[in-house]
Chains A and B, each alone.
Chain A
Amino acid sequence: MLKKMFLFALFMMLPVSAFAIEDIKSADIQKEAEIQKKLTDVGVSVLNANKIDGRVVFVYDKAEVKDKLKLDKTLLNREVIVYGYDYKFIEDDNELAAFLSRRIAEAYRSYPGFFSGRLNSLKIKAAPKKYQIIFDKIGVDYMVRAGYNPVAMITLINKSHPQKRGDGLTSNVTSKRLAKIYEYICVKYPYFLKNNEYYQNKSYQNFLLTSVNNRKMLEEKLRTRSRKELNYE
C-alpha cells in the first residue's frame, strides 16, 4: 500500500513539476522580452525626439544589481543597462523615460571632444558629483522634448535613491539633487508644476513633505527674483 501510494505520488508530481519549470522559464523570457521592448520603445523615442545623433542602446538585465567587477558601459559602449533593482522602482513610462533620459545624457556626452570623446568620459569619471546634477538637468530637457512629464524624475529619484551621507566626494545628497531638479523644472517648465499630474502621487507627496525647507528657500528666491545659487540641504 505504502509503495503504491509513493509511486502514485511520484507519478503525479514529477511531470507536473517539469512542466511547471518550463512554464516559469517561458513566462520569465516573455516578461523579459516585454520589458526589453518597452525599454527600447521609450529610449528610442527620447533619442529621436531630441535628435541625438549618436547611437545609444538599451539593455534590460534582470540581475538585481550591477556586479562590482563589471565596468559601467554607459560611457564606454554607449549602452544603457537597466538592472532589475532599478526597474522595480519604475511605475510608468514617465519614470522609465526619466531613468533613461539621464543615462542617455551621460552616454551622449561621451561622443564629442578629443580622442573620440575619451577625454569627456574621463572628465565625467573625474567629477561624478558635478556631472550628476548636469545629467539630471539635461535628462529633464530630454524628457520634455520627448513628451514625458519631468516631475516623474522627482518621484523616481525620491523613491529609489537613499539619503547617503558617506560619499560626499562622489555624489550629491539625494535631497539636494531633488531640490535642484525641482528648481530646474520650476524655472524652465513651470507648466508641469502648475498642472501637476503627480500631485497626488505618494512619492511626490513624500518629496514635498521632506523638502519643506528647500522649497521655502526657493520660494524666497523666486519672490525676490534673486539669481544667487541656493545652498540646498
Chain B
Amino acid sequence: MNRAFFISFLVFCAVSFGMRTESAYGAEVLNASKPESTEPVKDEIAENILKQRNFEKPVSHLIYDYKSTKTVPIRFSIKERIKSEADVYEGQIVEFEAQSDVYFKKDLKIKKGDTIKARVGTVITSGMNGIPASIIFDNFEFPNIKKGQTEDRLEVFGQDRSLVVFPLKWALTILPPSGSLTNFIMGGHVKIKEGKVFTMYYHPEWL
C-alpha cells in the first residue's frame, strides 16, 4: 500500500516536472515561430511630400513656474472678417491687431496696431441639437512676449442654440415624437467681425 502510494507520488512529481518543461519548450517554440521582419510599408506622404520641405520641431512647454498671479490684459481684434468656420482651414495663419498698448512696469510690450499672428488650430462645425460651431486659434505670436507667458488658445463660438433646444426637447417629450424633431435644429456658425475685441491675459512673471 505504502509502496504503491510512494510510486504514485513519484509519478505525480515526474508528470508535474514534465508539464513545466513542456510549457518552457512551448514558449521557445512560440519564440521560434515569430515571423521574420519584412519590408516596412512606405508612408508616401512623408516620403514624397513632406521630405522635400523643412519643418521645425514644434515648441513644447516643459519649463514653467506658475507662482505669480500678476496678469495684464491684451485686447485685440481680427484683421480680416471671418463669415463662417468654412472660410478657414486647420493650419491657416490668421492675423489679429492689438487694440491697445500693453505695458508691464512702464515697459511697452505691445503697441496698439501691432500685428499678432495666430494659427487656426481646430475647426469645429456646427451640430444638431443647437450645438454651435467654433474655431480654436492657437500658436499666438505676441511681439516681445514669450509663448509660455500667455494663454495658449482662444476659442470663438457661433450662436449656442442648445440652451433653447434642450429645454424644448424635454418639454415636448409628452408629445412623442415631436421632442426628437428638435434634434434637427443646428447650432450657429462662427462669425467674427473686424471690430470684435477679444481679450487674452499676459502673465509677465511666468516662464
Contacts and interface: CB of A to CB of B under 8 A. Distances in A.
A128 to B, nearest CB: 11
Nearest to A113: B160
B49 A127 contact: no
A144 B60 contact: yes
Contacts of A191: 55-58
B122 A134 contact: yes
B46 A193 contact: yes
Contacts of A200: 40
B49 to A, nearest CB: 5
Contact of B129 (A126, A188, A194, A223): A126
Contacts of A48: 64, 66
Interface in B1-19: 1-2, 5, 9
B43 A199 contact: yes
B24 interface: no
B179 interface: no
Interface string A15-48: 0000000000000000000000000000001001
Contacts of B105: none
B61 interface: yes
Contact of A146 (B44, B61, B127): B61
B91 A188 contact: yes
Given A2-B5, A191-B58, A194-B51, A205 B41 contact: yes
Contacts of B57: 191
Contacts of B49: 219, 222-223
A144 B121 CA distance: 13
A184 B119 CA distance: 13
B163 A187 contact: no
B2 A1 contact: yes
A199 B47 CA distance: 12
A145 B60 contact: yes
A51 B45 contact: no
A138 B62 contact: no
B41 A209 contact: yes
Given A123-B131, A193-B50, A141 B121 contact: yes
A227 interface: yes
B60 A208 contact: no
Contacts of B163: 114, 119
Interface in B33-83: 40-46, 48-51, 53, 55-58, 60-62, 64, 66
Contacts of A7: none
Given A1-B2, A144-B58, A219-B44, A130 B131 contact: yes
Contacts of A66: none
Given A123-B129, A147-B60, A208 B43 contact: yes
A84 interface: no
Interface string A35-70: 000000000010011110000000000000000000
Q: Which of A119, A134, A190, A222 has the most CB of B within 10 A?
A: A190
Contacts of A145: 60-61, 152
A28 to B, nearest CB: 23
Q: Which of B49, B51, B64, B66 has the most CB of A within 10 A?
A: B49
Interface of A: 1-2, 5, 45, 48-51, 114, 119, 122-123, 126-127, 130, 134, 137-138, 141, 144-147, 184, 186-194, 196, 199-200, 205, 208-209, 215, 218-219, 222-223, 227
20 contacts: A2-B2, A49-B64, A51-B64, A51-B66, A119-B163, A122-B162, A127-B127, A127-B128, A130-B125, A145-B60, A145-B152, A191-B56, A192-B58, A193-B46, A193-B50, A196-B46, A199-B43, A205-B41, A218-B45, A219-B49
